Structure 1
Amino acid sequence: MSAALELVGLTKEFGGKRALDAVDLSVADGSIFGFLGPNGAGKTTALRIVTGLARPTSGTVRVLGQDVATAGNAVRAQLGFLPDVPAFYEWMTGPEFMRFVGGLFGLEHRILYQRTAMLLDIAGLAGVTTRIGGYSRGMKQRLGIAQALINAPRLLLLDEPTSALDPIGRKDVLDMLDALRGRATIFFSSHILGDVERVCDTVAILNHGRVLTQSSMHELKERHSGHRIVLEVTDGADVLAAAITAQPWAASVSRGGHGAIEVLVADQDAAQRELPALVAAQHAGLVRLEAVEPGLEDVFVELVGEVA
Structure 2
Amino acid sequence: MNILEINNLKKAFAEKEVLKGVDLTVSSNTIYGFVGKNGAGKTTTMKMILGLMKSDEGKIFVNGKEVKYGDNETNRYIGYLPDVPEFYNYMNAREYLKLCGEISKMKSDDIKKRTDELLEKVGLAGEKKKIKGYSRGMKQRLGVAAALFSRPKLLICDEPTSALDPIGRKELLEILLEAKKETTIIFSTHILSDVEKICDEMAFLNDGKIVLSGKISDIKNKNRKNRYIIDSDGHNDELIGVFEGLRKISDDELELIDVTKLSNILEYMSNNDIKPLKIERVEPSVEDLFVEVTKQ
Same fold? TM cut 0.5: yes
- Which residue is 2:132 aligned to? 133
Instruction: Note the alpha carbon deviations across 1:117-172, whole angstroms, 9 max, x for none.
Output: 11111111111001100000000001101100000001100000101111111111
TM-score, with normalisation over the residues of structure 1? 0.90
How far apart, in 1, do the equivalents of 2:175 and 2:226 lie? Answer: 32
- Alpha carbons of structure 1 residues 259 and 167: separation in structure 2 relative to 1, 3 Å: closer
- Alpha carbons of structure 1 residues 244 and 201: separation in structure 2 relative to 1, 3 Å: farther
- The DSSP-based 3-state class of the residue aligned with 2:210 is strand
Kindly state the Cα deviation for residue 234 of structure 1 after the two structures are TM-superposed: 2.2
**Partners of 2:50 and 2:72 within 8 A in 1:** no
Which has the larger displacement, 131-140 or 224-233? 224-233
- Which residue is 1:263 aligned to? 256
**Partners of 1:224 and 1:302 within 8 A in 2:** no
- Alpha carbons of structure 1 residues 271 and 187: separation in structure 2 relative to 1, 3 Å: farther
Determine whether 1:254 maps to 2:247. yes
How far apart, in 1, do the equivalents of 2:241 and 2:24 lie? Answer: 45
- Which residue is 1:249 aligned to? none
Instruction: Note the alpha carbon deviations across 1:37-83, whole angstroms, 9 max, x for none.
Output: 11000000000000111110110001111110289765321210112
- Which residue is 1:55 aligned to? 54
- Which residue is 1:120 aligned to? 119
Instruction: Note the alpha carbon deviations across 1:167-226, whole angstroms, 9 max, x for none.
Output: 111111011011112311100000001111100010101112211110111111222341
Determine whether 1:292 maps to 2:271. no
How far apart, in 2, do the equivalents of 1:15 and 1:72 lie? Answer: 24
Which has the larger displacement, 255-264 or 120-129? 255-264
How far apart, in 1, do the equivalents of 2:255 and 2:175 lie? Answer: 36
- Alpha carbons of structure 1 residues 300 and 280: separation in structure 2 relative to 1, 3 Å: same
2:36 alignment partner AA: G
1:222 alignment partner AA: N
Which has the larger displacement, 253-262 or 169-178? 253-262
How far apart, in 2, do the equivalents of 1:38 and 1:182 lie? Answer: 29
- The DSSP-based 3-state class of the residue aligned with 1:284 is coil
2:249 alignment partner AA: G
Equivalent of 2:268, from 247, 271, 278? 278
Kindly state the Cα deviation for residue 10 of structure 1 after the two structures are TM-superposed: 0.2
How far apart, in 1, do the equivalents of 2:71 and 2:186 lie? Answer: 21
How far apart, in 1, do the equivalents of 2:37 and 2:71 lie? Answer: 33
**Partners of 2:202 and 2:216 within 8 A in 1:** yes
How far apart, in 2, do the equivalents of 1:134 and 1:227 lie? Answer: 52
**Partners of 2:51 and 2:70 within 8 A in 1:** no
How far apart, in 2, do the equivalents of 1:192 and 1:127 lie? Answer: 31
Identity of aligned residues (%): 38
Kindly state the Cα deviation for residue 12 of structure 1 after the two structures are TM-superposed: 0.7
- Which residue is 1:173 aligned to? 172
Kindly state the Cα deviation for residue 243 of structure 1 after the two structures are TM-superposed: 4.0
How far apart, in 2, do the equivalents of 1:253 and 1:113 lie? Answer: 64
- The DSSP-based 3-state class of the residue aligned with 2:126 is coil
- The DSSP-based 3-state class of the residue aligned with 1:189 is strand
Kindly state the Cα deviation for residue 304 of structure 1 after the two structures are TM-superposed: 1.6
Kindly state the Cα deviation for residue 273 of structure 1 after the two structures are TM-superposed: 4.8
- Which residue is 1:196 aligned to? 195
Determine whether 1:143 maps to 2:142. yes
- Alpha carbons of structure 1 residues 95 and 288: separation in structure 2 relative to 1, 3 Å: same
2:20 alignment partner AA: D
- The DSSP-based 3-state class of the residue aligned with 1:219 is helix
How far apart, in 1, do the equivalents of 2:226 and 2:121 lie? Answer: 39
Name structure 2 gaps, 5 residues minimum.
Answer: none
Kindly state the Cα deviation for residue 305 of structure 1 after the two structures are TM-superposed: 3.8
Which has the larger displacement, 71-80 or 91-100? 71-80
**Partners of 1:228 and 1:294 within 8 A in 2:** no
